[in-house]
Amino acid sequence: MGCGAFPRATPRWWMKRRTGGVWEDLRQCDDATEDYFKDKLRMSPRVFREIAETLSPFLQRHVTFYREPLQPDLIVAFALYRWVSGETYESGMCSFGIGRKSGLVAVRDVTSALLSAYRDKISWPTGLQKAVVLRTFADKGFPNCHGCIDCTHIFIDKPANCPGEDYYDKKRRFSVQAQVVVDLNLRVLDVFIGYPGSCHNVRIVHLSSLWARAEAGELFTGPPVMLPFGVRTNGYLLGDNGYPPSEWVVVPYGGVSQHRSEIRSDNKQKTARGAVERDFGRLKGMWRLFLRSHKTNMETLPQQFVAVCILHNILIDAGIPFDDNLLREVGPDGVRRRVDLGMHRPLRQMCMESSMRDALILRDALAERMGTQ
């Protein structure tokens, strides 16, 4: 009061917090809360409250004679913090004041709640969303394209009670493969995860429900589009050269000696497929547990990754921005470089059981269409 100014009721954003851990800091109501939420949970307080309220019915605990139950918002915050920070359970439990068993149960329950409450958040586009997806790809020169497909490796410690050689991938790390389909707005449309890192991309797509739906004619149901050479297509995905051509996966020409139309086609496809790498960058940069090697339960890892993909779509729909600095780290040699997103290519191609001739005609038709633009 002696300086002639009234003291602030809340601290300014540059003042360091001195409270009882991450959870107590998240509960503060001051002008630092917004930035603190984005740093620790990758979302605004408003979005966190919406998610916590939606999951609350699935996370209610019964009052017992022994202790007061954990509140749903704390349970949700701990699971999010675990996925965001990639810290061990022991480190996270110190920040939230809960025990190891409670932490394990919290992550398990929040995963299950997300899969139940937001079961339609990851879905093949229909209606207006489908029209928007098709229009954005058509603007890039790919009419009736529904998305881009690729795989990424989720790095893990050597799994217990499993054959280690199965999970040993091309880069000599233990990993699990995740196949994801995304649109140009980086929303996840389909995810399939769980097979060891040694599996080939084509084997994974054969084993996925995506393959069964595509072969049964359930995936691309819109009106066909006519392309040059009299090609009619109901829909397809863009893939890289890790996939051989198929009736519903269009891949680049590749090679050294290419015609100008082929070069133009490959460049445009590379630009469009850049959405996959940006998607994996945002997904793993936001939820860093899946960026680093970590000890995990192989039975719950697939469900946790799908839950994180759901959160990924929620944050995109909410307009939460992504900081590209999250994808750069200082290595042991002191050099700051981009992190490994686990998108290395398979050792060799395999053949899909589909009409190669029709697939090549579709690819040529797309290249011809681009050459006339």
Condensed to tens digits (0 to 9), the pLDDT of residues 212-229 reads 999 888 999 888 888 887
In Å, how far are 190, 236, 288, 329 from 125, measured between CA atoms? 10, 13, 27, 35
* pLDDT above 90 as % of the chain: 46
Q: Is residue 352 a contact partner of residue 226, using CB atoms and an 8 Å limit? A: no
* Per-residue pLDDT tens over the stretch 288-324: 999 988 888 888 999 999 999 999 999 999 999 998 8
In Å, how far are 8, 207, 212 from 350, measured between CA atoms? 66, 14, 18
Residue 344: the pLDDT is 66
Q: How far apart, in whole angstroms, are the C-alpha atoms of residue 352 and residue 247?
A: 10
User: Which residue would you say has higher pLDDT here, 30 or 368?
Assistant: 368
Write down the domain spans for the chain.
22-118, 127-296+321-372
Q: Is residue 146 a contact partner of residue 235, using CB atoms and an 8 Å limit? A: yes
Q: How far apart, in whole angstroms, are the C-alpha atoms of residue 159 and residue 128?
A: 43
Do β-strands 145-155 and 236-238 pair in parallel, antiparallel, or remain unpaired? Answer: parallel
- The mean pLDDT value for 160-176 works out to 81
**3-state SS assignment for residue 153:** strand
Phi first, then psi: give them for residue 300, nearest 5 degrees.
-105, -10
Edge-first strand order for the sheet with 145-155 is 188-196, 175-182, 145-155, 236-238, 249-250
pLDDT confidence bin for 20, thresholds 50/70/90: low
Counts for the chain of helices (H) and strands (E), in that order: 12, 9
Residue 4: the pLDDT is 45
In Å, how far are 79, 229, 292, 352 from 211, measured between CA atoms? 32, 26, 29, 10
Residue 355: the pLDDT is 66
Residue 305: the pLDDT is 97
Q: Is residue 177 a contact partner of residue 150, using CB atoms and an 8 Å limit? A: no
- Mean pLDDT taken over the chain: 85
Report the candidate in 29, 43, 27, 33 with the shortest Cα–Cα distance to residue 13.
Answer: 33
- The mean pLDDT value for 258-281 works out to 90
Q: Is residue 250 a contact partner of residue 262, using CB atoms and an 8 Å limit? A: no
* Per-residue pLDDT tens over the stretch 126-146: 999 999 999 999 999 999 999
Please tell me the pTM assigned to this model: 0.88
Q: Which amino acid is at 42?
A: R
Residue 7: the pLDDT is 45
Report the candidate in 119, 174, 71 with the shortest Cα–Cα distance to residue 309.
Answer: 119
